[in-house]
Amino acid sequence: MIYEGTGGELWWDRIGGKILKEGTYELWAGNECDTIKVTSVEVIKRNGPKGKLVKPEVACRGEKVEIKVTAGGEDLKYTLLGDVDSYQKVLHECMGQKEEFSMGSYAGYTTYRLKASYPDGSCSKVISIQSATLLDTPNPLDIRGKDVCMVFNEETGDIEGEIEIGLPLEKEEEVNYFLCAEDINHRVDQILVGDNRFFFQNQNTPGCYFVYAEHNRTNCTDTMNGVFCLGAVPDTLTYLYVD
């Protein structure tokens, strides 16, 4: 085949309308003065990339899931992509293995794509797509409250003070909320599904309080934003003055 140069790039994957067969092709260039061999190219027929993504386990939103590849090849390079809005983010790249192998653990992606190619970049294409099932999880809302210091009432001799903590108006209908003191296992009050309250019972025990939430249908959990503390009265101190 003869092509007339245009000053730009020349390329082709067919000659005479037929796909190039395996073999060595020579490129010659010439004009009225001379004709020279520029280069030669070897065309090698390769099998298309193989491998597929294993269906990710069901997880709560924000919880990591491991992404695995099966039926891959040791001579292939794999790239894992995660869908983010309208584009795909590269999450991991590695050479393949014959046995099932991991591409890492990730959270927040609903669709994963596996792209494979040979190490030189040839035959690159997306060969597998898997959707992740993310269960409904409580949204991390900002709880209402403020830090409070307990005080000593000299007239009565009592230590007074309590802390009030509440949920925002955006509290979710399918979520149970638990007021916790110091850790999630020490629950001092709760606002369950169907309870119209927004504020927990006031607390008068010194310590720091936060809200832990659990989705009533999926059992997925999250901690709400905010920690408020009820400060104890300082211990009585005795001062010794020395002249």
pLDDT in tens, 71-111: 999 999 999 999 988 889 999 999 999 999 999 999 989 99
- Mean pLDDT of the residues in the chain: 91
Rounded CA separation 64/57 (Å): 10
Q: Does pLDDT of 32 surpass 90?
A: no
Rounded CA separation 165/42 (Å): 74
At 159 the pLDDT is 86
At 3 the pLDDT is 66
Torsion (CA) 18, 19, 21, 25 in degrees, nearest 10: 90
Q: Is 116 exposed, middle or buried (0-12, 13-18, 19+ CB in 10 A)?
A: buried
Rounded CA separation 152/149 (Å): 10
pLDDT band at 7 (very low <50, low <70, confident <90, very high): low
Q: Does pLDDT of 239 surpass 80?
A: no
Rounded CA separation 226/77 (Å): 45
